[in-house]
Amino acid sequence: MRAVLQRVSQASVTVDGAVVGAIGPGLLVLLGVGQGDEASDLDWLVDKVPSLRIFEDAAGKMNLSLLDTSKAMLVVSQFTLYADTKKGKRPSFVDAMAPEEAKRTYLAFCERCRAQGLTVQEGVFAADMKVALVNDGPVTICLDSRAR
């Protein structure tokens, strides 16, 4: 699984002109599920994302996680994180997991983060979404469960 985390002061997702998810300070998580991802990949990401210490403490050091703060998470499905651009000019997405299974994994990620007490907003899986954000820092971190 791959995730791009962006520390934000605010973020929202709009589908067909309606806001379907929005947060104030927290993390925008672009989440991709790849062919061959297993339960251990999901476990790793569910543990890593909420506990990653990328929010500033009173001394201005990145020392706090989502679990340490009252910040929220907006999770957006993003199969294009598995784009293969090695050949030609058009990306291939054959490494992305099939939509039905990817959706189950995406929803499981969201639910398991909520189970840790986090406020989690979602985009709409497989929809044409418009994502708006104000990157705070900017802080952007890429995670890949297979590179752990």
Concerning whether 80 is annotated as a catalytic residue, the answer is yes
Instruction: Show contacts of 45-50: CB within 8 Å, 24+ apart.
Output: 45/1, 45/3, 45/109, 45/143, 45/145, 46/109, 46/112, 46/113, 46/116, 48/143, 49/3, 49/5, 49/73, 49/113, 49/143, 50/113, 50/116, 50/118
The catalytically annotated residue of 78, 105, 109, 121 is 78
Confirm whether 78 is a catalytic residue. yes
Say whether 79 is catalytic: yes
Looking at 79, 105, 109, 121, which residue is catalytic?
Answer: 79
Could you give the residue numbers annotated as active site?
78-80
